[in-house]
Structure 1
Amino acid sequence: MKHLRTHLNEDTYLKLVLEAIEKENYRLAAYIDNTGKMVAVVGFMPMITLYYGEYIWVSDLVTAPDERSKGYGDELLSYVHDCAKAQGYDKVALSSGLQRVDAHRFYEEKMKYDKVSYVFLKNL
């Protein structure tokens, strides 16, 4: 996760994860390779909006830089899809930083996601 959320130190990360688990039903799953090394992680949770209705939101998905293009992201996102279906959800959504061109290609071409909106942020 440190490769994706570089602005967080360990204490802040753990505080936020524990709060998200408690309040938002946030879940984490990891891909462990055959050597026992964690190489990818995904965080996701149920959401409700008027636009999508009830769906699963992928908050975090990252593969260690030296482990990319080995199918780990595909495995984890497919796991999220299976969890969503098992819980009665028919949609999974996520956002991805504008600079993550390789990730966008992965979502659109490999995983068949549709690009449906931009996410806007205003720091106050």
Structure 2
Amino acid sequence: MFVVFDEALLRLPSCLAVHAQLRPNLNKFTSDDYVQYIQQLPDIHICGIIRKNETETIVLALAIYRNYLTTYDTHRFEIDDLIVDEKERNHGLGTNLMNYLIQQAKQCHAVQIHIHCDLNNTDAHRFFFRFGLIIPIFEFYLKNNQLLESNNQIQVIDITNLSENEYEQFLIRVHNIYLQLRPHLPIDQKTYIDQIRNIRHNGSVRIIIAINNNDKNEVLGLAAYRVVYNIKYGKHIYCDDLVTSENRRSLGVGRCLINYMKNEGKKLGIDQLTLDSGCQRGQAHKFYYREGFIISQFGFKMSC
């Protein structure tokens, strides 16, 4: 039976037991602690498969997912956790749960499903491959908010809370740079501005830009980031977009933007930063490694 989980289902011992098979850090929780922890995660949806008879209800499988707006794929449908009880595998439950999630993604008008998966979880990899998912993305992870030496001629400013007119003018100035990272963004300025403004108004994303401290105040790059909660990392910063103008690379722009996010993380008590990068972006990967990032997960994707 497919169900949307409520507090009563979350309190079942089998719910915590199954979830901990994927996330062993949950083993430290009592049922009450687990429910409280799950309920503090914002903007998530929990569903799963249960077996119910006259005497008991048992959780057989569960999934945690979220949907939000991004510049990458507009309506992003992301599965944080998907787990089938190890005693119930090879009975089609994972396939049924994935089919259910695909239908949920379609209702959200998402065109793709994204799932992050640990590098060593080969059983899950095989399942995802059988289901038609591919690995187009690496997730990079940094647990360190120590600021690295950066170019003091570059200023980073947060444009998120500026007046609408100022915000729009900055978006126009970074339009061509944004297109270098996201070529599918609208070419028409008004459509582009409306899309970015909609992402800002419907989520917690913040946009920062790097400017050269010269007479021209030339825009050099930008980043978009948000504070995210999930069970793998807890509270952390996720960087949606990070791009330096192709004509201004090797000036330290990327480091300045990362330093800014680290500094904002410090203010919030956060020392973890993650971002996704396409598998083909070798030059970007070299940069992330120099900054101290490691590849922590594969990013699986499928059309729906």
* Same fold (TM > 0.5): yes
Partner of 1:78: 259
- In the alignment, is the contact (CA less than 8 A) between 1:24 and 1:46 conserved in 2? no
Partner of 2:183: 6
* C-alpha displacement of 1:32: 1.0
* C-alpha displacement of 1:123: 1.5
Between 16-25 and 71-80, the greater mean CA deviation after superposition: 16-25
Q: Does 1:31 align with 2:193?
A: no
Q: Does 1:88 align with 2:269?
A: yes
* C-alpha displacement of 1:16: 3.6
- In the alignment, is the contact (CA less than 8 A) between 1:31 and 1:72 conserved in 2? yes
- Percent pairwise identity: 28
Partner of 1:69: 250
Question: Cα distance 1:16–1:89, how it changes in 2: closer, same or farther (>3 A)?
Answer: farther
* C-alpha displacement of 1:70: 0.7
Of 193, 196, 202 in structure 2, the residue corresponding to residue 17 of structure 1 is: 196
Question: Cα distance 1:37–1:114, how it changes in 2: closer, same or farther (>3 A)?
Answer: same
Partner of 1:117: 297
Between 17-26 and 44-53, the greater mean CA deviation after superposition: 17-26
* C-alpha displacement of 1:121: 1.2
* C-alpha displacement of 1:92: 0.7
Between 20-29 and 73-82, the greater mean CA deviation after superposition: 20-29
Q: Does 1:57 align with 2:252?
A: no
When the two structures are aligned, how many residues end up with a matched partner?
A: 123
* C-alpha displacement of 1:24: 2.1
| Alpha-carbon distance in structure 2 between the residues aligned to 1:47 and 1:20 | 15
Question: Cα distance 1:24–1:69, how it changes in 2: closer, same or farther (>3 A)?
Answer: same
| Alpha-carbon distance in structure 1 between the residues aligned to 2:276 and 2:192 | 19
Q: Does 1:105 align with 2:286?
A: yes
Aligned-residue CA RMSD (Å): 1.4
Larger Rg belongs to: 2
* C-alpha displacement of 1:120: 1.2
After TM superposition, list the pairs within 5 Å mapping 1:38-53 onto structure 2. 38-53=219-234
For structure 1, the 5+ residue unaligned runs are none
1:23-50 deviation digits (Å, cap 9, x = unpaired): 3211011111123111100100011111
Scaled by the length of structure 1, the TM-score of the pair is 0.91
* C-alpha displacement of 1:15: 3.5
One-letter code of the match for 1:3? Answer: Q
For structure 2, the 5+ residue unaligned runs are 1-177
| Structure 1 residue runs of 4 or more that deviate by more than 6 Å after TM superposition | none
| Alpha-carbon distance in structure 1 between the residues aligned to 2:195 and 2:229 | 20
